[in-house]
A and B are shown apart, each in its own frame.
Chain A
Amino acid sequence: MARAVLAGTPVSPGIAIGTLHFLHDTRRVRRQRIHPREVAREQEALCRASVALCHAFEQTLDNVPQELAEYRDVIGAQMELARDPKLLAAIRDYIAERHVRAELAIDRIVEDRCAKFRKMEDPYLRDRAQDIRAVGLRLRECLKGSDAGRNPDVGSVLAAEDVSPADFMDRRPGSLRAVVTVEGGPTSHSAILARSLRIPTLVGVAELTDAACEGEPVIVDALEGRLLLDPDEMDLARYVERQEAYQQWEVHCWTGVRLPAETTGGRVVAVEANLENPRDLPAFGECGAEGIGLYRTEFAYFRERLPSEEELYLEYSKVAAAISPAQVVFRTLDSGADKLIRAQAALREQNPALGLRGIRFSLRYPDIFRGQLRALLRAGATGNVALLLPMITGIDEMRQVRALLMELQDELEAEGVPYAADVPLGGMIETPAAVLICDALAGECDFFSIGTNDLVHYLLSIDRTNRHVGYLNDPMHPAVVRALKQIMDTARDRGVRVTVCGELASDPYALTLLTGLGVDAVSAAPRFIPAIKHLIRQLDASSCDDLAECVLKSADAGASRRMVHDRLARQLGDELPFFTASFRTPGQ
């Protein structure tokens, strides 16, 4: 028996066995007076610690992989805090006035500043208290010359109140076995990062700092949500076996990637990949996806200047040619509330999620849109290309784009530039309006793609950046299930193909439900695809239909989740926790 077993929420699956190391020494600092002669020495030590920490952050910045570039700013801001002249001056003064060690001065001044931030009205600024605290703790480590950032422990399990993206990227790849934290949730930056780096991670381990000891052996079960402290031989033997089973399962998923995703009872779901950059093409090639169900085109627009038609054509044709004859669905520019581009920033909308985004933005700025559509039509001549329009709320938007496409085709014809004349045009179903009129939209669209992330947010009226309402983000909410049912039924009647391309596509519970509702295709990030195909192959078509019917009758999201969970648990047994669930499930 282990000394203790703590519960936590798994946010990145896997099992790890290692030695627990706390990221920061959070013990209270002892108050110890120093001689006035020592003041200058302590102040110099502080200065050196600040320089050392900034240097460590700079190295971290160099280690940030290209695909995680968005975290550079988070780390940059922490670096700025580490050398903030006012903060350092306040700590120096505290040392001189109170005759205390630098360590204590850092602790007191940082706590004081944190307290100020915690009292602020703006929730964003309140959260910055965590950044300041994290920097203060690392300054103290640097003071002792034991900054974790510079001394990564091989094979360690990292324990902390909370981790920031910098804490992950400080480490040499492979040196970190698992992460366990007191704070955090499944949608935090760190959870997303842990999943992409495939580091088993538990969050919400409430008793962590009280119960666990520095340097003790632990087992992290980030499949079932358990942290075993000081395990005995039997625990170790059991988990070594479980770890092997998980690794074998992963290998098994990967060896089957070329097989179709067909349920017993013969229902085939096409499994496609979400991409956003030609750099992802190798990952696409390996994962067994049957096409690109969603190619996000925003990447090229997140620059200082707008991309030219030629640059866009090069990008699109490269992707289309690489995967031909498989199809790539390009979604036109969907600059959203949380990813503003320059022209949109100029609008300064009060509520961008309900503002000029997606197709609305493109139709308002035809010069930007025409360039993109011309590039896409031209890329159509190099492969199998389809177009998808985001944020559709009415048939008029579809018609306007069709008219524009006709005009651009005439233009290209006159110029003698090769293009595709028969590019399928689809609509994203992600607004409540689109769900309610999907029968009318079926007459205008060659295919539907359900953007489940936005659909859930708009249906349940939740702002994705507001963590106070994150608990409402529930795909088993009856409103979501009924909307999905309505779209799929209408599409089937009208002969329109439906793809689901949000986070739901990779969630085992939602995937089972979608299969029962009769989805034609799902599209997810390449790393999820082997497991998605493996799961579908173990499902039974009529059992999924039956389950979907039960869930549709349920008005209680909790009961629906339990139903799906119980069914899957019976079907998959010990294998169920191996799948990455992106939503809360019973027992978590």
Chain B
Amino acid sequence: MEYDIKQTPDGLAMSVPLSMRSGLHARPAAKIAQEAQRYESDIRILGAEETADAKSMLDILTLDTTPDASVTFLAQGEDARQALSGLAVCLDAVQQSDG
């Protein structure tokens, strides 16, 4: 799936609907953290109320998402655009194999 990437004052932003059955579980959270760690950029995930460091699985898990919620990935740094495209592919893969 293609997601829109927008330039904001805080960096590049990508809004993603999360359609996993019960928010982010351990396995998808681990996959996202692994992917985020591949990039130099500072990457944050903005939930409804909290913000998580995308490189920390523990942080992602504490982002208490609800099913069908939407979150925004915010990346700042040299490779911000590559990071967001990489994460988009990764998210598609984990959402499809969620089970």
- A binding-site residues for B, Cβ under 8 Å: 73-74, 76-77, 79-81, 84-87, 113, 116-117, 120-122, 124-125, 128, 131-132, 338-340, 342, 345-346, 348
Contact = CB atoms under 8 A, between A and B. Distances in A.
Given A73-B26, A125-B61, 19 more contacts: A73-B27, A76-B27, A76-B30, A80-B34, A84-B56, A85-B37, A85-B55, A87-B56, A113-B58, A116-B62, A121-B64, A125-B23, A131-B26, A339-B99, A342-B97, A345-B96, A346-B96, A348-B19, A348-B68
Contacts, number: 68
Contacts of B29: 77, 80
B98 interface: yes
Interface of B: 19, 21-23, 25-27, 29-30, 33-34, 37, 53, 55-59, 61-62, 64, 68, 95-99
B30 A124 contact: no
B27 A128 contact: no
Nearest to A87: B58
Contacts of A85: 37, 53, 55-56
A125 B22 CA distance: 10
A374 B21 CA distance: 34
B58 to A, nearest CB: 5
A122 B22 contact: yes
Q: 4 nearest interchain CB pairs? A: A86-B56, A340-B99, A80-B30, A77-B26
A307 B23 CA distance: 30
A268 B27 CA distance: 47
A346 B19 CA distance: 9
Contacts of B97: 342, 345
**Which of A86, A120, A122, A348 gathers most chain B CB within 10 Å?**
A86
Given A122-B64, A124-B22, A340-B98, A84 B27 contact: no
A346 B95 CA distance: 9
Contacts of B22: 122, 124
15 contacts: A80-B33, A84-B33, A84-B58, A84-B59, A85-B53, A85-B56, A86-B58, A87-B58, A113-B58, A117-B62, A120-B64, A121-B64, A131-B26, A342-B96, A345-B97
B82 to A, nearest CB: 19
Given A84-B57, A86-B58, A124-B25, A345 B95 contact: yes
A345 B25 contact: no
Nearest to A339: B99
A345 B37 contact: no
B80 to A, nearest CB: 18
Contacts of B19: 348
A578 B57 CA distance: 44
B57 A81 contact: yes
A80 B23 CA distance: 18
Given A128-B26, A342-B96, A80 B64 contact: no
B42 to A, nearest CB: 11
A76 B21 CA distance: 21
Contacts of B64: 120-122, 125
Given A86-B59, A87-B58, A77 B99 contact: no
A122 B34 CA distance: 24
Contacts of B25: 124
B58 A81 contact: yes
A225 B31 CA distance: 40
A81 B26 CA distance: 10
Given A340-B99, A342-B96, A128 B61 contact: yes
A540 B23 CA distance: 53
A65 to B, nearest CB: 20
Contacts of A77: 26-27, 29-30, 57
Contacts of A116: 62
Contact of B53 (A86, A124, A340): A86
A79 B21 CA distance: 24
